[in-house]
A and B are shown apart, each in its own frame.
Chain A
């Protein structure tokens, strides 16, 4: 499929260019805050993109996706606390543990559909939250400070604002590229086919759940990477990143930006976190405004912002 020149692709291209040039702007204007803010946004965009893989393409409404943010983060934090500072160990561990967790909860929750699936994924994420709260050795409720960012043997310095930002951005673009390949591959078509009509897919010879499970694990692993980035970004990890409202935030980003669109979650994360940031300067109750915005999007713009842009050209 060749990329077509339309509003949504143009916006996606502009967005990527802006994200790449952001550190230049930040350096030129001396505005460090915007770089810090966007580092966070890029990390959440990666998490949202991974959720989009199962939610948008796979039709699996996981309400526990933030669990992987915590698992990836704790993998980095706990290893750092135990004196293992190398990113070459921390990050693979973060990915593997996230994948195993996804395998465990996926193989149980994928036996169910619809509301039950949402509830089971939520329950597992909450369990992870309470387990983390009970880890008194690693800060328990108060969380765990990461005193030293992951060390990549001098290849890249994560404490350098610009380098870290570009690392996060590279992870985001890499993740999106991976998702794009997956979505158009044999595997991706099967997963989307199962979303569309599971009975039909079984009847033509696909063991639907096996494909869904693998997709679920891939998404969890990518989100685990976002978790490792997040812990390095905040130099801190706490059970709060796994709380169900965080999973809700990720869902909102995906729906806001456009489910089943590659760049939807990125624009969703940008809009959501920017709005949150802006509104928090005026009011404590940013939800009062964010809520109705989401409501309008869901009611009048199925397919989110990307869906709106896609319609503009035809409209």
Chain B
């Protein structure tokens, strides 16, 4: 049974770049798929193909029961698209923007007017509704863009990095809007480079890198893949890193990740808090002074690192990820602390 969004073997090349290299996706009706990946992974290309904006070189896709290639107009009637660049006309007022979109969805002009008023109300834009969108803050523009995507209450929604560049308050607000939509039964495909966002909003996650889906599953399944807890320590004296790695080796279930710059060492372990006490005693006995120690559960950041060999927000300028993957001790840089990447967007692009 195909889902509300179903794609098989999508391929799209731009010159020599394979933006999509055989992507299969399936989003059951009423669920949220998070497409997670770094810049340039192919997320936006996938959305553009699924929303009929781009013709794939190979493969097929069915959205809301219609083939993207043979019935694009039917697909367009059933989808809403909200992009990362807040595509509204900034010289039109919020109300004019929504009315225009309604009329172009072929609603009658009266129905479009009523719907515009409803949406302004729902997105707390009524007061600003008759001001040109140019005067809106970044968060307001994003809400208007989302409202424009919802004019016909489409059964299938696509959101391309809906919260990129928003401040935390606006992001939370948008999340709650998205959660309401999903509660109403809308099928949603969401792209994001924020792991926390995928964790919060998506039922299923597909990790995309270099035009391929390299892993899929629920957030918990993906986290379980790279094992359980890990101990993370920060050594006070860089000269003692080797000694600390030696101590941790005795407790570790895998290889240690060392970041010399921040003097942080992370090792996978099993045994919980009691083990932590032992680690502390042993390090103390060897005279390794600590600045910090903690027991961490894996985050999606770790998942991403272990799958791609890079942190999620890194710009991938260095070609294909190393096949060796993470965990080579001593010589590579560990991921940024979990949560830090997600909490602070890399491209603050708030209202100018």
**A is bound by B:** no
